Structure 1
Amino acid sequence: MTHSSPPTSAPKEILPSPLAAISLKLVGAITILAALIDFLTLLLPPQFGNRAWQLATTTQLVDRGIVPLVGIALLFTGYWIDSSLGRVPRRVSLALDARFWTCLLSCLLGLMFLFTTVLHPNNVRIQSREALSQVASEATEATSELEQRLSADLNARRTQIAALLENEEQLQAAIASGELDEAQLAQIERFRNNPEELNNFLNSQVGEAQNQLQTRIGEQQKEAEARLKAEALKATVRVTLSSLLLTFGYTFIGWQGLRRLLAMVN
């Protein structure tokens, strides 16, 4: 007696939920609109003649540029789910299809980020050059102030020593009060016997102090210039590469989407 095996039922195909499609399209649309509002807020009020505003705005646009791209991806994923469920009607007019406007927006955003790719490095270069010029100007001013201060100090010390040399009572009072030690007293005696030695001594003291301070100013200037160049390089590389990636992503999605939509209509 033969036993017939029960018929095996074919596994059911798991279809995506219509709710998932609606949710993805809704979240995608909200993400895109919120990002556009954010972009508009960054651009208002416009200050196109202000280079600092241009740099700050382009940097923030690039930093937030991925948000609309995610929204577009979510929106098209929702349409793909609808298509797999057979719920996407064939439209005669592209003007009534949200996908057309989304692709067009994607192309426009691609052009915008292509513009920032060119604009931002140029602005960084100009701002860096201005900052380096300001550092050099500040170093020159500091050197000038140093020379004036040292010159005033030289004159004050020359006047003080000359007063001691000319006034014996003041010299004895300084010795009695302990203001002058034996080495300083010996120097004063040499200065009294040879006034030219006083000038040489003061000039050497001032020259040594001037060299030390100028060296310090030069080191600070080099450190500031190196820091500015490093910051400019990092800002240029980061924003430019991000802009290029965003340009490619938006342009590719927009162009491919428009091409497919036009093929569907035709």
Structure 2
Amino acid sequence: MTSEPAAPSSVVSPLAAIALKVAGAIAILSALLDFFILLIPPNLTNVQWQLATTTQLVDRGIVPLIGIALLLVGLWVDNSVGRTPQRKSLTSDLRFWACALASLLGLVYLLLILLHLNAVRLSSQQALAQVSTEAGEAAAQLQQRLSAELTQQQSQLGAILNNEDLLAQAIEGGQLPPDIQQYRNNPEGLSQFLQQRADQAQQQIETEIGTRRVAAERQVRVEAWRSGIRISVISLLLAAGFSIVGWLGLRRLLSLTRSA
């Protein structure tokens, strides 16, 4: 029984090298194009643009790293089977440009950590200021509403207190306490009674506003902390990966060039 002959390595290796180099080049070029589109048009004074851009750059940073790795592996396969032509200078070696790009991207992702943390800080400050403004506006609206309601209630109660039937119906229906009758001939006491009820309602609502404000501020800080930690750690890992590939590759190529 005869077995099928295995494919010669001289055929398989060039095909693998071509596939790796093409895949790597496409990944690198598509990533660089994607980064270019993300940066156009630039809006450096907009904190939200900074935050969104740095986040997307970091989230997509693994693509060029994989592309550079594939390209270098493809070039190594070519070199291992003796298909790499003799190059006259280092700048004509595609491996040099791949390692140089990796080194550059390593520096970029190191700087992105600082840019993103600063954008997170500014965005958090803006969000906290907005929460404070909204809480202040809510308190002001509350004060105006209670003041208008106090005037209206004073007028309505004055009319009810002067009408025995309406007063009895309001007390029986639970709309007014029984001791409201003591204010029939005491306008100042009625005003104090209404003001006391308004102050109690205001205090209760202000407490609720304060609770919501604290919760909103806590949520803003938590989201800022999560974004800062996640993007910073990923960007640091990418910076380390690009730098290792780039600097070690350049060092290796320089040593080969000197020994040649």
Q: How high is the TM-score relative to the length of structure 2?
A: 0.89
Answer yes or no: is the 8 Å Cα contact 2:171–2:178 preserved in 1.
no
1:181 maps to 2:172: yes
1:198 to 173, 182, 190: 190
Aligned to 2:207: 215
Among all aligned residue pairs of Structure 1 and Structure 2, give the percentage whose two residues are the same amino acid: 49
Letter in 2 for 1:90: Q
Unpaired segments ≥5 residues, structure 2? 1-7
1:29 maps to 2:20: no
Letter in 1 for 2:230: R
Letter in 2 for 1:263: S
How far does residue 173 in structure 1 lie from its aligned partner after superposition? Answer: 5.1
Spell out the pairing of 1:81-230 with structure 2 (5 A cutoff): 81-165=77-161, 168=162, 171-172=163-164, 174=166, 178-181=169-172, 184=176, 186-230=178-222
Q: How high is the TM-score relative to the length of structure 1?
A: 0.87
How far does residue 109 in structure 1 lie from its aligned partner after superposition? Answer: 0.8
1:100-128 deviation digits (Å, cap 9, x = unpaired): 11111111111111110111101101110
Distance in 2 of aligned mates of 1:185 and 1:127: 51
Spell out the pairing of 1:41-80 with structure 2 (5 A cutoff): 41-80=37-76
Aligned to 1:39: 35
How far does residue 264 in structure 1 lie from its aligned partner after superposition? Answer: 1.8
How far does residue 224 in structure 1 lie from its aligned partner after superposition? Answer: 0.5
Distance in 1 of aligned mates of 2:248 and 2:121: 35
Distance in 2 of aligned mates of 1:78 and 1:159: 89
> Cα RMSD between the aligned structures?
2.1
Look at both structures and tell me which one has the larger radius of gyration over its CA atoms: 1
1:51-91 deviation digits (Å, cap 9, x = unpaired): 21111111000000000000011111111212221222332
Letter in 2 for 1:250: F
1:122-150 deviation digits (Å, cap 9, x = unpaired): 11011101210111111111111101111
Unpaired segments ≥5 residues, structure 1? 1-12
1:258 to 242, 247, 250: 250
Aligned to 1:246: 238
Aligned to 1:3: none
Answer yes or no: is the 8 Å Cα contact 1:139–1:218 preserved in 2.
yes
| SS in structure 2 of the partner of residue 27 of structure 1 | helix
| SS in structure 1 of the partner of residue 184 of structure 2 | helix
Letter in 1 for 2:113: T
Distance in 2 of aligned mates of 1:143 and 1:114: 44
Aligned to 2:3: none
Aligned to 2:4: none
Aligned to 2:5: none
Alignment coverage as a number of residue pairs:
250
Which has the larger displacement, 240-249 or 88-97? Answer: 88-97
